Amino acid sequence: MQTPANPFKQALREGRTQIGLWLGLADAYAAEICAGAGFDWVLIDGEHSPNDLRSTLQIAQAVAAYPRTHAIARVPMGHGQVGQMLIKQYLDIGIQTLLVPMVDTPEQAQALVRSLRYPPQGVRGMGGARASRWGRYTDYPQRANEEVCLLVQLETRQALGNLEAIAAIDGVDGLFIGPADLAASLGHVGQSSHPEVQQAIDDAIRRIRACGKAPGILTLDEPLARHQIALGAQFVAVGIDHNVLSRGAAQLAATYQNANS
């Protein structure tokens, strides 16, 4: 058996827009429902949801039943020795594409590239039992570096200032803009829709594309998402599972609120 190609990474290379859904419920059963909906990718969130390594594995296994949908995971952190250890573990359970938060400098991005790769290109420890399907992917040690995909998250004023330098790092496949933290960094806490924030996001999308890399973002507002796609955003999350559930439940309840009146 041969190591499968990373379809998400290939789509980015070919310039195809990929529409995704954020998974924050930390539940494989719910994730399978979402994976069957037909999104190009789903993001298993390990930063702002109660996912750990084991639940990430279980969700990835559920999503794998739907080959159209690619499972991406966001690690809680990627910097330093702890981040390097987490990245190794996520890769070893078979995650091919990682989103790493709070990347502010090209030095951090370069260190992350090395964390995702086996020697001599990197420092990832040799392992990957499930990633290689317990040795059944006989070429995994030789192919792993080629198929991993690194998405770095820009969410501060400093990161925007270093955007071109970060994008220039070989091995960074996509640059994801984090609207909420970026708004806070720009002095507009809780105001992602503030004109200054939206102007900064639009500018960042254009700059990332000009560097030849793929821009990404999470946007819950449909007109705004379509605007950002038109600007060149290439991997766009258009919803969060718990938002879909809470809004749908509220709408259903509201439909029957006056049933007994």
Q: Residue 116 and residue 41: Cα distance in Å, rounded?
A: 20
Number of domains forming the structure of the chain = 1
Residue range(s) defining the domain that contains residue 187 = 7-250
What distance in Å separates the CA atoms of residue 209 and residue 192, rounded to the nearest whole number?
22
Cα(143)–Cα(147) distance, integer angstroms: 6
Tokens of 191: 């105001």
In a domain, 78, yes or no: yes
Please give the pLDDT value at position 261: 59
pLDDT at 23: 98
- Domain presence at residue 257: no
pLDDT per residue, tens digit, the chain (261 aa), is 899 999 999 999 999 999 999 999 999 999 999 999 999 999 999 999 999 999 999 999 999 999 999 999 999 999 999 999 999 999 999 999 999 999 999 999 999 999 999 999 999 999 889 999 999 999 999 999 999 999 999 999 999 999 999 999 999 999 999 999 999 999 999 999 999 999 999 999 999 999 999 999 999 999 999 999 999 999 999 999 999 999 999 999 999 987 665
CATH number reported for the structural domain that contains residue 211 in this entry: 3.20.20.60
Predicted TM-score of the model (pTM): 0.95
Q: Does residue 255 fall inside a structural domain?
A: no
- Domain membership of residue 260 (yes or no) is no
Bond before 120 cis per omega within 30 degrees: yes
* Residue 118 within any structural domain of the chain: yes
127 belongs to a structural domain? yes
Domain-located, residue 112: yes
* Residues with a known catalytic role: 48
